[in-house]
């Protein structure tokens, strides 16, 4: 039996740079209220959301990703040619193949890196970060670009009172590279497929394309609705508040630290009530900065954690070297949590 030469990677990995892109159009709750019977007060009290960003036709998944990636690469102090792999988490790239990661890699001038998409909903950034860490330590790539990007305005049913106000668009990216010390902790991740119906796409693409039209949802004008994201709000809320707080604590334990050691908490920006409840359940000290980007950005699924991270650093609410707990959770139901050092 031949002896295979072991891989030679870095001892550890860390996030070296972060970048974000938010579409130029800011959409207040008043625009949402044109289609649903609700109020600004109700939306704010239920979600904490006041505005969100919606992409123009020119602000495609690729275009937003390229903008965010350029900022992350510059922040990391490397060149695009040094990127050895591009991992993109998205559920709103509608071309089945090829992966949008390949197009992004080409447009940023990365050469010929490994490039692929993953679909893990709101936990997608955590999944991508874990894969990137593994590639750097294993040695298959020295620098990995991880992108979370969504155009959820394309998958929003504006007549659905339960979800019309939730979703926004944007892209967040980080560069993961080698480190002599551990700066990305063990990942606590998993799935609960028995709850997959709580967050889902209303109609599969094949039914929308060739199915029985009589079974497809219609809007108020009688036209066929484009597939959208729907959810069972109360079930999702209970799961996120009670189960995800446990996962967050497991990530702290796996990293060998306590809540007192944290500087920053960056949960998936799903809902302000969920964020506040998790803070209370985890008993986070007053000194811990909590990302509440959802107020002005909405729920951007895979993009929400890197976008929130970028804003905290840009506004000075967090600083390079801070210890942060990140956790993503959503459709699947899937989740991923880890402790990282901010770039």
Name the domain boundary from 180, 213, 246: 180
Range of the domain at 71: 12-180
Look up the CATH number of the domain holding residue 164.
3.40.47.10
Q: Is residue 208 part of a domain?
A: no
Q: Answer yes or no: do 272 and 297 share one domain.
A: yes
Tokens of 161: 């009172």
Backbone angles phi, psi at 34, to 5 degrees: -70, -20
170 strand-pairing partners:
150
Q: Annotated catalytic sites, by residue?
A: 122, 268, 299
Cα(134)–Cα(86) distance, integer angstroms: 13
Q: Is residue 276 part of a domain?
A: yes
Q: Answer yes or no: do 63 and 158 share one domain.
A: yes
Q: Is residue 3 part of a domain?
A: no
Q: Answer yes or no: do 18 and 148 share one domain.
A: yes
**The pLDDT of residue 8:** 85
Q: Alpha-carbon torsion 266, 268, 271, 277, what sign?
A: negative
**The pLDDT of residue 216:** 65
Yes or no: say if 165 and 30 are a contact pair by the CB < 8 Å rule. no
**The pLDDT of residue 1:** 87
Element (H, E) at 338: strand 334-341
3-state class (DSSP) for residue 250: helix
Q: Answer yes or no: do 191 and 109 share one domain.
A: no
189 strand-pairing partners:
336
Q: How many domains does the chain have?
A: 2
Q: Answer yes or no: do 165 and 102 share one domain.
A: yes
Q: Is residue 282 part of a domain?
A: yes
Q: Is residue 157 part of a domain?
A: yes
Q: Answer yes or no: do 169 and 189 share one domain.
A: no
Q: Answer yes or no: do 173 and 241 share one domain.
A: no
Q: Answer yes or no: do 16 and 141 share one domain.
A: yes
Q: Is residue 214 part of a domain?
A: no
Q: Is residue 207 part of a domain?
A: no
Q: Is residue 219 part of a domain?
A: no
Q: Answer yes or no: do 165 and 250 share one domain.
A: no
pLDDT by residue for the chain (343 residues), tens digit each?
888 888 889 999 999 999 999 999 999 999 999 999 999 999 999 999 999 999 999 999 999 999 999 999 999 999 999 999 999 999 999 998 999 999 999 999 999 999 999 999 999 999 999 999 999 999 999 999 999 999 999 999 999 999 999 999 999 999 999 999 999 999 999 999 999 999 998 888 877 666 556 666 666 666 667 888 999 988 999 999 999 999 999 999 999 999 999 999 999 999 999 999 999 999 999 999 999 999 999 999 999 999 999 999 999 999 999 999 999 999 989 999 999 999 9
Q: Answer yes or no: do 24 and 141 share one domain.
A: yes
Yes or no: say if 182 and 323 are a contact pair by the CB < 8 Å rule. no
DSSP string, 251-311: HHHHHT--GGG-SEEEE--S-HHHHHHHHHHHT--TTSEE--THHHH-B-GGGHHHHHHHH
**The pLDDT of residue 202:** 84
Q: Answer yes or no: do 100 and 70 share one domain.
A: yes
Q: Answer yes or no: do 90 and 117 share one domain.
A: yes
Name the domain boundary from 139, 156, 180: 180
Element (H, E) at 249: helix 244-255
Closest alpha carbon to 117 in 142, 136, 139, 94:
94
């Amino acid at each position: 039996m031949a002896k295979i030469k072991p891989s030679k990677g870095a001892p550890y990995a860390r996030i070296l740079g972060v970048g974000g892109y938010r579409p130029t159009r800011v959409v207040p709750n008043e625009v949402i209220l044109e289609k649903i019977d609700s109020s600004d007060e109700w939306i704010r009290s239920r979600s904490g959301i006041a505005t969100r960003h919606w992409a123009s036709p020119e602000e495609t998944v690729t275009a937003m990703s390229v903008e965010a990636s350029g900022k992350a690469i510059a922040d990391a102090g490397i060149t695009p040619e040094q990127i050895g792999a591009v991992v993109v988490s998205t559920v709103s790239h509608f071309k089945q193949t090829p992966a949008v990661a390949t197009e992004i890699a080409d447009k940023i001038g990365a050469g010929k890196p490994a490039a692929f998409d993953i679909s893990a909903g709101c936990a997608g950034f955590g999944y991508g970060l874990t894969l990137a860490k593994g590639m750097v330590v294993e040695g298959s790539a020295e620098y990995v670009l991880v992108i979370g990007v969504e155009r959820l305005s394309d998958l929003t049913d504006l007549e659905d009172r339960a979800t019309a106000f939730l979703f926004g668009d944007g892209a967040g990216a980080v560069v993961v590279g080698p480190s002599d010390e551990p700066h990305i902790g063990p990942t606590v991740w998993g799935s609960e497929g028995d709850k997959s119906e709580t967050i889902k796409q209303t109609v599969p693409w094949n039914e929308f394309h060739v199915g029985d039209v009589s079974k497809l949802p219609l809007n108020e004008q009688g036209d066929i609705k484009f597939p959208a994201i729907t959810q069972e709000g109360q079930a999702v809320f209970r799961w996120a508040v009670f189960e995800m707080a446990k996962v967050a604590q497991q990530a702290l334990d796996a990293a060998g630290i306590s809540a007192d050691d944290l500087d920053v908490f960056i949960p998936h920006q799903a809902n302000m009530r969920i964020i506040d409840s998790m803070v209370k359940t985890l008993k986070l000290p007053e000194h811990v900065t909590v990302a509440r980007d959802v107020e002005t950005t909405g729920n951007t699924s895979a993009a929400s954690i890197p976008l929130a991270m970028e804003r905290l650093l840009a506004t000075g609410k967090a600083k390079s070297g801070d210890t942060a707990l990140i956790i993503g959770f959503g459709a699947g139901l899937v989740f991923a949590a880890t402790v990282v050092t901010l770039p």
